[in-house]
Amino acid sequence: MATISLARKPGWGELLGGGPLASIVLRLVFVAAFDAFAIFTGWQLLRGAVAPLAVVLWLVALAVTIVFLRRDAMPLRWIMPGLAFMVMMHIYPVLFTIYTAFTNYGDGHLIERTTAIRQIESQVYLPPDAKTYTWLPYEAPDGSYALWLTSAEGDQYFATSTGEVYTRQELEAQGVEFDAEGKPVAVGAYTSIPANRRFAVLPMLQPLTFGNVEQGVKITSPTRAGQVRQKYVYDPRQDAMIDQETGVVYANVRGTFTSPDGQTLIPGFPVVIGVDNFRRLLTSPALRGPLVTIFTWTVVFAAMTVLTTFVLGLLLALALNEPDLPLRRTIRVLMIVPYALPAFISVLIWRGMFNPVIGIIGSQWDPGWFSSPIFAKVGILIVNLWLGYPYMFLITTGALQSIPSDLYEAAKVDGASGFQQFWRITLPLLLVAVGPLLVGSFAFNFNNFTIIQLYNNGGPPIPGTPTPAGYTDILISYTYKLAFGGGRGADLGLAAAISIVIFLIVGAITIANFRYTGMLEEVSESV
């Protein structure tokens, strides 16, 4: 194929990726459209202060442009669409998670730095020498309020609680009508509140600031309002917030502006804190306790699941792998029903069966299927045995059928007993065949969030832990609780740190598995 293309005379088309004119045009239009989309989206992301995502998007766009305009990159064009999704939605999130593990991202440190500074700077205070206005109230159907303000000098303007400010001149230019008292009849959705209701709305108006930092007021009395001033100003030289009212300097301490006597300003922003999250995991006794429990259970859960499902699946495969058995196909179809049901449904059904009030099992015998640390674990293992053994039955049946029968004949000639045949021939050969699948099953169950979360949300809770943790939590469900709150706040940095621990464990297992099966070597060998 390459020889054919080389034989052709190079021209402008070659520079643009080669091929017939129609396909060149099509490709140019596609690349232009995609780049336009990427530039626009990336620019919007930058404005929203999400620079890393914008950079990744632009890198993808650059790759797309190169791949589609260079002839020698033609094979990559086919791979690019899938690759683009992989980079944006898999590689970038994983890298971001790794980065997050080294930050204090979480409650109190959720908003990006510039946004946090902007929010703090929008706070105002009412100085004692404030310029005063008389005010008349307005309300809108959506529950927001506004004031018509008149100063002693005769300046008039309209300020809303949502931050808008209009001078009298601006309102006149917009064609707003004014009544005999000289106040506007209505501004947009805002209508005047009659004098007899003014006291009724006073409590609602008092906490509000009308207008913005540059031109805003707060109500000081039933008739007067005072002009506010910006309370905090950011000083980039000191990297600190300065309180305009008191002169106190709030220095940036690990992403929170903090005064010398320990007062903090909200919101904070995430900063890199190095290996602190990992150090906390290893050294903080309050965190280490549940983590050790959870880690141990994660390993026990995954290992016991593989062991129980494999043993039951294998025994059944041995029993049913008999050519003379009638209805073999029907038996198989009925037996693997649990494998065919979506796991979330199966877990919910079992949860119902264990329920102490309505459950067919729980109402007869309830040793604490959900409340006892031990029996909750036993319950989960039973459910997972039910879910998983048909899969093991299927793969071991397949493997059994592929063991050559002359091996058994030879063993019989040598006088080996049935048990010896199983132990010396069947099991070793079987393990070679299904071993990688067992490791795969271990890795899968290591992160089997669905069963843990749906069976009992990881409960019963471990008492006295600083983070939400339960006796049946595995690492992934614990991470989920840390990140998305169990009522005690989100600690995304710590969650990410645990994610990395899982990455390392599961990654090591899987790579070892690839090595063993030669899957990686296959790359270089395949034609």
Partner 1 sequence: MSERATTSKKVGSLQAQRRFNIAWRLVVAVLAIGFSLFPVVLILSTSINPISQVTVTQLIPDNATLNNFRRMLTDEQFPFARWVWNSIKVSGLTSLLVVALTSLAAFSFSRFRFRLRKPLLRAVLLIQVFPNILAVTALFLILLNIGRIYPGFGLNSHFGLILVYLGGAMGFNTWLMKGFFDTIPRELDEAAYIDGASSWYTFTRVIFPLVRPILAVIFILTFIGTYADYLLARVILTDKNMYTVAVGLSLFIGEQYSQRWNLFAAGALMAALPTLILFYLIQNQLQSGLTVGAVKG
Region of 144-152, 260-268, 324-332, 416-424 interacting with partner 1 (CB under 8 A): 324-332
Pairing mode of beta strands 124-125, 224-227: unpaired
Give the sign of the dihedral formed by CA 314, CA 435, CA 302, CA 347.
negative
Residue 422 binds partner 1, judged by CB under 8 A: no
List the structure tokens of 423: 């132990």
Q: How many residues bind partner 1 (CB under 8 A)?
A: 112
Q: Which two tokens stand for residue 339?
A: 């494998």
User: What whole-number distance in Å separates Cα of residue 336 and Cα of residue 341?
Assistant: 9
Interface residues for partner 1 in 45-74 (CB under 8 A)?
45, 48, 50, 53, 72, 74
Beta bridge partners of 40: none
Residue 74 tokens, joined: 């033609």
Residue 314 interacts with partner 1 (CB under 8 A): yes or no: no
Closest by Cα among 283, 263, 137 to 205: 137
DSSP 58-69: HHHHHHHHHHHH
**Residue of 365, 423, 484, 516 that binds partner 1 (CB under 8 A):** 484
- Among 163, 289, 338, 461, contact with partner 1 (rule: CB under 8 A): 338
Contact between 520 and partner 1 (CB under 8 A)?
A: yes
Does 261 sit near partner 1 (CB under 8 A)?
Answer: no
How far does CA 231 lie from the centroid of its chain?
35
Stretch that binds partner 1, among 40-48, 201-209, 234-242, 460-468 (CB under 8 A): 40-48
The least CB distance from residue 187 to partner 1, in Å, is 29
Q: Are 321 and 401 in contact (CB under 8 A)?
A: yes
Structure-block tokens of residue 187: 């501004």
Give the nearest distance from C-beta 267 to partner 1 in angstroms. Answer: 16
- Report how far residue 404's alpha carbon sits from residue 400's, in angstroms, rounded to the nearest whole number: 9
User: Residue 70: phi, psi to the nearest 5?
Assistant: -105, 130
Is the CB of 6 or the CB of 319 nearer to partner 1? 319
Binder of partner 1 out of 127, 188, 398, 435 (CB under 8 A): 398
| From 11, 274, 342, 487, residue interacting with partner 1 (rule: CB under 8 A) | 342
CA–CA separation, 74 vs 79, rounded Å? 10
Instruction: Tell me how far apart the alpha carbons of residues 351 and 361 are, in angstroms, rounded to a whole number.
Output: 10
- Both tokens assigned to 379: 């319950």
- Which has the closest alpha carbon to 396: 459, 354, 438? 438
**Residue 324 in the binding site for partner 1 (CB under 8 A):** yes
Least separation, in Å, of the C-beta of 450 and partner 1?
Answer: 4
Decide if residue 384 touches partner 1 (CB under 8 A): yes
Considering only 117-125, 170-178, 323-331, 410-418, which stretch makes contact with partner 1 by CB under 8 A? 323-331
Segment interacting with partner 1 (CB under 8 A) among 7-15, 153-161, 247-255, 440-448: 440-448
Report the DSSP beta bridge partners of residue 358: none
Residue among 155 and 365 whose Cβ is closer to partner 1: 365
Shorter beta-carbon distance to partner 1: residue 104 or 441 = 441
Interacting span for partner 1 (CB under 8 A) from 228-236, 237-245, 283-291, 379-387: 379-387
Q: Is 89 in the site for partner 1 (CB under 8 A)?
A: yes
Continuous segment of H or E residues that includes residue 456: helix 449-456
How many C-beta atoms lie closer than 10 Å to residue 487's C-beta? Answer: 6
355 binds partner 1 (CB under 8 A): yes
Question: In the beta sheet, which residues pair with residue 136?
Answer: 148
- Binding part of the chain for partner 1, among 115-123, 185-193, 340-348, 405-413 by CB under 8 A, reads 340-348
Among 387, 400, 469, 497, binds partner 1 (CB under 8 A): 387
44 binds partner 1 (CB under 8 A): yes
Binding of residue 462 to partner 1 (CB under 8 A): no
Among the listed residues 453, 459, 478, 486, the single contact to partner 1 using CB under 8 A: 453
The number of residues in the chain equals 527
Tokens of 152: 């002693």
Local structure of residue 158 (DSSP, 8 states):
E
Considering only CA atoms, give the Rg of the chain.
34
Q: Which is nearer to partner 1, 152 or 523 (CB)?
A: 523
| Closer residue to partner 1 in complex, CB, 184/313 | 313
* Residues sharing a CB contact under 8 Å with residue 284, sequence separation 6 or more, in sequence order: none
Which span sits near partner 1 by CB under 8 A: 233-241, 248-256, 412-420, 498-506?
A: 498-506
| Least distance in angstroms from the C-beta of 180 to partner 1 | 46
- Restricted to residues 294-313, the positions that interact with partner 1 (CB under 8 A) are 309
Tell which one of 59, 140, 394, 411 touches partner 1 (CB under 8 A). Answer: 394
Nearer Cβ to partner 1 (85/423): 85
For residues 36 and 42, give the distance between their C-alpha atoms in angstroms, rounded to a whole number. 10
Cα–Cα distance between 4 and 192 in angstroms, integer? 81
